[in-house]
Amino acid sequence: MPAFEIYAGSQAKATIAKHGFKAELFGAVLGASGGPKWFILKGLDQFLFGSWLQNIDHPIELLGSSAGAFRFASLSQSDPVGSIERLAQRYSTTVYSANPSAREITDHAQQLLNYVLGNNGVSEILGNTKFHSHFVVARCLGLVACDQPALQVLGLAQSFALNRLNRRHLKRQYQRVLFSHPQSQLTINDPYQIPTQNVELSQQNLFSALMASGSIPMVLESVRDIPGAGPGIYRDGGIVDYHFDLDVGLNSDPTKDGFLTLYPHFQAQVKAGWFDKSLKRPVCEKHYRNVVMICPSSELVKSLPYGKISDRKDFSELSPEQRLPYWQTVLEKSHQLADEFEVWLEQPNLDDIRPLPFL
């Protein structure tokens, strides 16, 4: 059975039928939150950014939150294959104490980013003319801005209740801050009207923006007062944009049918925000009409240890002796997905492209 599944929105399917499955059709890539779930995509990331997307003559806009932001910070360096390898190997071998504090986990995250970025990573990301990174961060208001755990839990409970009524209500507690490449051609429109502040990435704020994008409430410490974004408490971008439910706009239009958005995703379902994970609320169909999603197949997932992809719960539910070899197996299996997709591209069978299953 194939190791990957491929899905497309209605307009994407029509564009591909007209022009073929070509790299130059794509103008953006999405990167979801989800912690170590992305390990199953590591091989695909290396193929896409190290090879397949390299020869197109227009920029690719990369929109990521949390783990997606970490991936794109790696993939928009000058050596995307080596950089994402460093991220995967350092992240997958992380070991905490028995009951780690937020300070300990934050320290590990900062060390991880320093290792992945190295001496030149920030300059390479900002100077990349092919891949333009954008990192989503949530500015917190009210109780969710508190560092005291009891108050933060109360604030998160309020967020859950407000979101359950209507996603629009999240704007009472959160603002989206989009840190964008200096040459960005990306625009977003949020029908839920969560206020969005656009901030240009710079040498002064890139590290802080990345840290904030991955600062999970109650797990990591918040990031304060990011340069360019102003005073405030900043946390995980997945709070507002977990898997995305946005209208993504791109300026150029070489095919006259509009650029497509590529979405390498670790599953065939999407949730708009972090508080939607337990809800059956669908995302808006029009936001995915130009999206092509590549996912691991259910057969590949079943073949993994424990019959699932890696996730953040593994830190608490598995011992390091169990978790580390399991995660290495997931990373190794990710290359099977990439290899089979590369073979498929040699003679794409468009009948393999299915309608998006969550619409």
Report pLDDT for 328. 98
pLDDT digits (tens, 9 = 90+) for 24-59: 999 999 999 999 999 999 999 999 999 999 999 999
Q: Taking all residues of the chain, what is their mean pLDDT, rounded to a whole number?
A: 96
Structural domains of the chain, ranges and CATH numbers in brackets: 4-138+171-355 (3.40.1090)
Rounded to an integer, what distance in angstroms lies between the CA atom of residue 47 and that of residue 81? 8
Rounded to an integer, what distance in angstroms lies between the CA atom of residue 84 and that of residue 81? 6
Report pLDDT for 252. 58
Residue 299 CB contacts under 8 Å (≥ 6 apart), including other chains: 1, 2, 3
Report pLDDT for 185. 83
Judged against a pLDDT cut of 90, whether residue 203 lies above it is answered with yes
Judged against a pLDDT cut of 90, whether residue 333 lies above it is answered with yes
* Residue 359 vs residue 112, higher pLDDT: 112
Sign of CA dihedral 135, 36, 32, 273: negative
Mean pLDDT computed over 317-327:
97
Mean pLDDT computed over 345-355:
96
Judged against a pLDDT cut of 60, whether residue 254 lies above it is answered with no
Judged against a pLDDT cut of 90, whether residue 198 lies above it is answered with yes
Question: 1-5, 140-144, 224-228, 243-247: which range is least confident on average?
Answer: 1-5
Mean pLDDT computed over 291-309:
97
Mean pLDDT computed over 65-70:
98
Rounded to an integer, what distance in angstroms lies between the CA atom of residue 267 and that of residue 149? 31
Mean pLDDT computed over 135-142:
98
pLDDT digits (tens, 9 = 90+) for 83-132: 999 999 999 999 999 999 999 999 999 999 999 999 999 999 999 999 99
Percent residues over pLDDT 70 in the chain? 98
Mean pLDDT computed over 301-311:
97
Mean pLDDT computed over 183-207:
95
Report pLDDT for 359. 85
> Of the candidates 31, 16, 42, which has an alpha carbon nearest to the alpha carbon of residue 296?
42
Judged against a pLDDT cut of 80, whether residue 1 lies above it is answered with no
Mean pLDDT computed over 123-150:
97
